[in-house]
Amino acid sequence: MAYSTFNNLDKRKKNKIFRAALREFSEKGYAGASINRIVAELGIAKGSIFQYFGDKEGLFNFVFVKSIDTVKDHLKSVRDNTRDEDFYSRIETLLTSGISFLRKNPRIYALYTKILYEGNLKFCSALLKAVRQESFEFLSEMIRLGIERGEVRSDMDISCATFYLDSLLDRFLQAFMLEHFGARPGIYKANDSQVSRWARELVGLLKKGMAPQ
């Protein structure tokens, strides 16, 4: 949707609507989310939400896309700020900065995990596919540059390496945010020192398998 009516609102009101909807969807998931609760918190008419977004799915898509844009802005910043560093330093920064991002934006990650495990909505599957595609392209670019610089083995299968890296990063963030994944290794809600140590260890393992011998 173009959200033309919504876009005519002032920035403060738009952000307020986004935060209220993000809170609801991240806590309740799509199926359990209530437009009534959102408008009650905002103090606006229920019809306004339908005027702005069409329906519940339209509101959810707006929240999801805005959240993903926030993630993409973070990744672009990491990419640009580390371009002169070697491949393995960039991955280590990606890991540690990812945790910093989650600390600042826990509801965005909660939204992601809600739809990841809700999994029974066709349009959610399409959104998750788009997320993985963004991640795949981002990491593939880093690997290709690493190969060009002689930091990554030239015989490395880029698709396989990208899948491995994407899985590693995704699980690392899950382990920090979700107790059942991270309690045993000690990553769950780890402090900065612990996060840095884990990132160094993981990158050390990557280097043994990906660096030219």
For residue 84, give the CATH number of its domain.
1.10.357.10
Asked if residues 102 and 176 have their Cβ atoms less than 8 Å apart, the reply is yes
- Structure tokens, 188: 């769950």
Instruction: Find, among 54, 66, 73, 84, the residue nearest to 25 by Cα.
Output: 66
Structural domain that includes position 189: 64-210
CA separation for the pair 203, 197 (Å, rounded): 10
Q: Which residues of the chain, if any, have pLDDT below 50?
A: none
What is the phi-psi region of residue 121: left when phi exceeds 0, alpha when psi lies from -120 to 50, beta otherwise?
beta
- Residue 22 DSSP class: H
Report yes or no on 31 lying in a domain: no
User: Residue 98 has what pLDDT?
Assistant: 96
Half-sphere exposure in the Cβ direction for 141 (13 Å, CA):
11
**Would you give the distance in Å from CA 210 to the centre of its chain?**
25
User: Number of folded domains in the chain?
Assistant: 1
d(C-alpha 42, C-alpha 64), whole Å: 19
Please check whether residue 157 lies inside any domain of the structure.
yes
